[in-house]
Amino acid sequence: MKYIIALDAGTTSVRAMLYDLKQRKFVHCAQQEVGQNFPHPGWVEQDADEIYYKSVYVLNSCITLAGAENVAGIGIANQRETVVFWDRRTGDPVCPAIVWQCRRTSEFCSRIPEEMRRLIRERTGLQTDAYFSASKIRWGLDHVPAAARLCREGNLCVGTVDSFLIWKLTEEHAFVTDHTNASRTMLFNIHTLKWDADLLSYFGIREDILPEVRPCTARMGEFLHSGVRIPVAGVAGDQQAALFGQACLARGDGKITYGTGLFLLFNTGRSCAASGHGLISTVGYSLGKKVVYALEGSVFNAGSCVQWLRDEMGFLKTSAESEAIARSVPDTGGVCFVPAFTGLGAPYWDGEARGLLCGLTRGTGRAHIVRAVLESIAYAARDLADCMQRDSGISLNGIRCDGGASANDFLMQFQADVLGVTIDRPEERESTALGAALLCAISLGLCEEGDVSAFRTSARIFRPGEGQAAAFRGYEAYRKAVSRALLHGETD
């Protein structure tokens, strides 16, 4: 059996990617879009059954092409924090899935006292926020009568998307999750690797409605296809799967995913580093009994800023044009942009901050603004990297990049200059799917952790160059601009 299928259940689509272990490459991809619903301002929901049925569709596409007898296993990567409620007896969802982006529980979270916030931080590594799963679960128990009734009867299952898919896909209806997804719930103690009794008690959530937590490389169950039992093994949340797929296996290795926002994960090894700058401490991945931790930071707006230039400002016909336009001027001409359309995250944590464009003169042109927007993405990543190094006491070895904007050579070179480390862009950009495939392969004994780096090939490495001094000066100007964008008018 030479194939592994990586099922990547994202927020806007589900994809199954057929990975050839011998050739070390993806040979087929099947994809289906998944809808989102916005029933009230700030609410985001999805149909969990739609996610499941479209997952089966794309899986069948890959299995039919390869032949079930040639598929060694199925690994899963998934959108994190999204919560599904379903009937233990039938597997049917009892309400729409509450998506990670949903803010319906913001007010509830704002009322959580400081003492409990500290406990949440110490035990889970997370900020107290509606982003994570705990308050979503509490909301469902309070506002969905069917969920409350099933809970009283002992027939309710609540889990993240991976848990729901594994339950539905496996013949034995395995009710499980992995360490990385559990670590995003605000209920899981990342030090003991168990559901935390004190946090469960505070949120009023019974442990028996939650899945069993296993390592990322655990075998979760079997998917029956045409009489062939295919192991489901190797599971991780999407950002952690990308960390593993990028072979960030050593302390100090980091990866940046450039999407609508920007995610930076930083490997801190076997020790869990606490952050004093509002970063998240999380499980990076687990291989059997070996647990590797990471610090995570996110920038709310990255690729969305380029989309803004294209769609609202009309400065670009395509996002790819931004590279040539930015290169057409030697610098920004003093223009500075702060990417705060929806507030600023770490290390500022000001949800009321808004985007700022400053330093305009009569000579400012389209190219200066485009360049300033691209530079701001790199500066925001520098904010995160600086905090991670201070919090952990570990130096950044380098950054491995993926996501749409990683194709922009100007941005990648500028990122190397402003961080002062190499930026390594891989040949295979599907890092999330590759991480799921490799976790599956390790689970099945088809490779070992030491082999992972061999599955990743660098396409291009960007090294800090002659633009480094100018990038450092630009970063200082960016920090001053951030001070103007902040509600309180000061940076950390």
Give the helix, strand, coil percentages of the chain, each rounded to 5: 40, 25, 35
Q: Are residues 279 and 170 in the same domain?
A: no
Domain boundary among 238, 263, 296: 238
C-alpha–C-alpha distance, residues 295 and 246, integer Å = 16
Q: Quick one: which of 115, 171, 181, 106 has its CA closest to 136?
A: 106
What DSSP character marks residue 131?
A: T
Q: Which of the four pLDDT bands, split at 50, 70 and 90, describes residue 395?
A: very high
- Cα 306-311-315 angle, rounded to 5 deg: 70
The overall average pLDDT reported for the chain is: 92
282 and 195, same structural domain? no
Kindly state the DSSP code that residue 346 receives in the 8-state scheme. Answer: T
Q: Which of 189, 213, 238 is the last residue of a domain?
A: 238
The domain of 361 spans: 247-492
Residues 69, 229: contact at Cβ < 8 Å? no
Element (H, E) at 470: helix 468-485
Burial (CB count within 10 angstroms: exposed 0-12, middle 13-18, buried 19+), residue 33: exposed
Q: Are residues 333 and 463 in the same domain?
A: yes
Residues 405 and 492 in one domain: yes
Residue 479 DSSP one-character state: H
Which of 193, 218, 238 corresponds to the end of one domain?
Answer: 238
| Full-model pTM | 0.89
Both 217 and 328 in one domain: the answer is no
Separation between Cα atoms, residue 143 and residue 28, nearest integer Å: 42
pLDDT category, 490, cuts 50, 70, 90? low
Query: Do 252 and 228 share a structural domain?
Result: no
3-state class (DSSP) for residue 281:
strand
Do 309 and 453 lie in one domain? The reply is yes
Give residue-wise pLDDT tens across range 109-123: 989 999 999 999 999
Looking at the chain, the whole-number percentage of residues with pLDDT higher than 90 is: 77
- Phi first, then psi, for residue 46 (nearest 5°) are -140, 160
Burial of 41 (0-12, 13-18, 19+ CB in 10 A): exposed
CATH number of the domain to which 408 belongs:
3.30.420.40
Contact residues for 446 (Cβ-Cβ < 8 A; gap 6+): 4, 21, 72
Q: Is the pLDDT of residue 346 over 80?
A: no
Of the pLDDT bands very low, low, confident and very high (cuts 50, 70, 90), residue 1 is low
Work out the percent of the chain whose per-residue pLDDT is above 70. 99
* Domain count of the fold of the chain: 2
pLDDT in tens, 432-479: 999 999 999 999 999 999 899 999 999 999 999 999 999 999 999 999
Residue 344 binned pLDDT confidence (cut-offs 50, 70, 90): confident
Instruction: Residue 224: count other Cβ atoms within 10 Å of its Cβ.
Output: 14
pLDDT per position as a tens digit, 134-176: 999 999 999 999 999 999 999 999 999 999 999 999 988 999 9
Are 252 and 234 in the same domain?
Answer: no
